[in-house]
Amino acid sequence: MVSDAKNVAAKPNPKLTVLPLIALIFYEVSGGPFGVEDSVSAGGGPLLALLGFLIFPLVWSIPEALVTAELATTFPENGGYVVWISSAFGPFWGFQEGFWKWFSGVIDNALYPVLFLDYLKHSFPIFNRLVARIPALLGITVSLTYLNYRGLHIVGFSAVALAAFSLSPFLVMSIFSIPRIQPKQWLVVDFKKVNWRVYFNSMFWNLNYWDKASTLAGEVENPSKTFPKALFGAVVLVVSSYLIPLLAGTGATKSAPSDWTDGYFAEVGMLIGGYWLKWWIQAAAAMSNLGLFEAEMSGDAFQLLGMSEMGMLPSIFASRSKYGTPTISILCSATGVIFLSWMSFQEILEFLNFLYAMGMLLELAAFIKLRIKKPDLHRPYKVPLQTFGVTMLCLPPALLLVLVMCLASVRTLIVSGAIIITGVLLYPLLVPAEDRNWTPIDAEQPPLPPDNSVEDHSDESQPHQEVQDEASVGLLPDLSSTKTKPESSEISSEEDLKLE
């Protein structure tokens, strides 16, 4: 009865539709061309930067988006990639994946309040002083955390408005630049000045986190249809938001590659359109960082909620506010952001890239293993390739992930190693946590995808239903349901025997 009451209370909370989900994915991955300036200076000129944003989406973004579309629709739950890894390799590796990805996300989110003030300080120098900077950082974090608390649908539609505002000055800048563009300037490159470490880290950071939206899958309306559409729309939007401003800025100005550092697009706007366009880009950059913060915090918080529902974290992380948002999970993520905001941009970038790369290697392995071990698993959206084809699809991104990890500094390796050891040591604490009723061991098993013959309960659909239940039972075999109906309990028992 308590479970039913919770379900009734949760129903009024609006679900995410295609447009808000596109905006959230856009902000999980990109947020606009802010931060891509380093790719020009690190690449020794515009050529490598432009080639990078043409080639990297093909070898990295599109494969990651395809993997996310298939697995997120197969397991439409808030745990996202934690559920995928648990299904493929068991709860131990699912927990490690969740720990790495959450830590990476919190580190990433610590960037955005800092970048917000970095753009404003060009017009308001007071934000260079700690006496104004620290209260501003705290105020931004608290206010944005409250917006997350008020509801995911509010965050989604806010992201739509922020995306429109953030991209509009670049559309105007691109139009104004057309008469001044000299295509030969796009071919400039000085290989002696190329910093491959910074270049690859910049490219990777600007084009990753496609899988983050999967942690919101339980809050999406009709995920089997919504997710593929939203991911396709987001890929087009992200690549366009990088390439078009870069083509305009590098083709219409004669700036030296060394001038292209964080925030330089504002100067490009002034050179092309005047001070009014510079201020508009600065305002857009500031607002874009707010959208990035909101999207990242939503993904991190709902990931913790999903892990709690699976029994991997204390049940308090699954508690929801009257707005349907995971209150404790949001506060936990916000606290991590505040403590990490003192780090430098490049330090944050390397740490989060390394942890993210490890998690993505595990996701790609899980994707292939599920195709081999559970070929009959119900997949509402399926990448149209056989096992060999999906293996070849995952090979280029896997090689890129290994390259990014090999380029990490010794300090990054030490810090990341400490985080990995912490995750391994934390996992055994789940056993006494279950004994003390910290985790929701009476919670129902992960729900089946909505496409699973909801409208057809005939005997003909039973074999297909059985395969899907097998995947769900296999996630956390020690968390058996105690509140199922007699019929479903009997079916689950039979399937447990099959798994054994």
The CATH number given to whatever domain includes residue 134 is 1.20.1740.10
Structural domain includes residue 229 = yes
330 with 476, same domain: the answer is no
Q: Please indicate whether residue 90 or residue 293 has the higher confidence score (pLDDT).
A: 90
158 with 302, same domain: the answer is yes
DSSP conformational letter for 317 = G
Point out the domain boundary residue: 377, 412, 427. Answer: 427
Average pLDDT over residues 441-463: 39
Task: Report whether pLDDT(334) > 60.
Answer: yes
Structural domain includes residue 5 = no
Q: Tell me how crowded residue 377 is: count the other CB atoms within 10 A of its CB.
A: 18
Point out the domain boundary residue: 379, 411, 427. Answer: 427
Report which listed range, 138-142, 303-307, 409-413, is most confident.
Answer: 409-413
Task: Give the span between the Cα atoms of 28 and 364, in whole angstroms.
Answer: 19
Structural domain includes residue 147 = yes
Query: Do the Cβ atoms of 310 and 79 come closer than 8 Å?
Result: yes
Domain count, the chain: 2
Instruction: Tell me the pTM.
Output: 0.73
Q: Please indicate whether residue 141 or residue 422 has the higher confidence score (pLDDT).
A: 422
487 with 348, same domain: the answer is no
208 with 311, same domain: the answer is yes
463 with 358, same domain: the answer is no
Q: How confident is the model at residue 11 (pLDDT cuts 50, 70, 90)?
A: very low
358 with 484, same domain: the answer is no
Structural domain includes residue 234 = yes
Query: Do the Cβ atoms of 463 and 487 come closer than 8 Å?
Result: no
* ∠ Cα 270 275 278 (to 5°): 60
Task: Report whether pLDDT(192) > 60.
Answer: yes
409 with 471, same domain: the answer is no
pLDDT digits (tens, 9 = 90+) for 239-251: 999 999 999 999 9
Query: Do the Cβ atoms of 317 and 341 come closer than 8 Å?
Result: no
DSSP conformational letter for 447 = P
Query: Do the Cβ atoms of 387 and 368 come closer than 8 Å?
Result: yes
**What's the token pair of residue 431?**
């056993």
Per-residue confidence (pLDDT) for residue 93, from 0 to 100: 92
High-pLDDT (> 70) share of the chain, %:
75
Average pLDDT over residues 200-207: 85
Structural domain includes residue 285 = yes
Q: Provide CB contacts within 8 A for 51, sequence distance 6+.
A: none
Mean per-residue pLDDT of the chain: 77
Average pLDDT over residues 442-452: 40
Task: Give the span between the Cα atoms of 52 and 497, in whole angstroms.
Answer: 51
397 with 494, same domain: the answer is no
406 with 495, same domain: the answer is no
Dihedral of CA atoms 149, 85, 27, 407 in degrees, nearest 10, equals 130
Per-residue confidence (pLDDT) for residue 461, from 0 to 100: 37
Task: Report whether pLDDT(396) > 80.
Answer: yes
Average pLDDT over residues 305-330: 77
Structural domain includes residue 433 = no
Q: Residue 326 pairs with which residues in a beta bridge?
A: 320
63 with 175, same domain: the answer is yes
315 with 258, same domain: the answer is yes
Task: Report whether pLDDT(313) > 70.
Answer: yes
**Domain range spanning residue 492?**
459-499
Q: What is the CA radius of gyration of the chain?
A: 23
Per-residue confidence (pLDDT) for residue 336, from 0 to 100: 65
Maximum Cα–Cα distance for the chain, whole Å?
74
Structural domain includes residue 452 = no
Q: How confident is the model at residue 68 (pLDDT cuts 50, 70, 90)?
A: very high
Task: Report whether pLDDT(51) > 90.
Answer: yes
479 with 412, same domain: the answer is no
Q: How confident is the model at residue 455 (pLDDT cuts 50, 70, 90)?
A: very low
Output the DSSP codes for 157-187. HHHHHHHHHHHHHHHHHHHHHGGG--GGGGG
pLDDT digits (tens, 9 = 90+) for 107-165: 777 777 777 776 666 667 776 676 776 777 777 777 767 766 666 656 667 778 888 88
Per-residue confidence (pLDDT) for residue 122, from 0 to 100: 64
Per-residue confidence (pLDDT) for residue 67, from 0 to 100: 93
Structural domain includes residue 208 = yes
Q: Which of 29-33, 45-49, 106-110, 235-239 has the lowest mean pLDDT?
A: 106-110
Average pLDDT over residues 269-273: 92
How far is the CA of 426 from the CAs of 98, 402, 423, 431, 432, in angstroms?
12, 26, 5, 10, 11
Q: Provide CB contacts within 8 A for 119, sequence distance 6+.
A: 34, 263, 266, 282, 285, 286, 289
DSSP helix/strand/coil, 60: helix
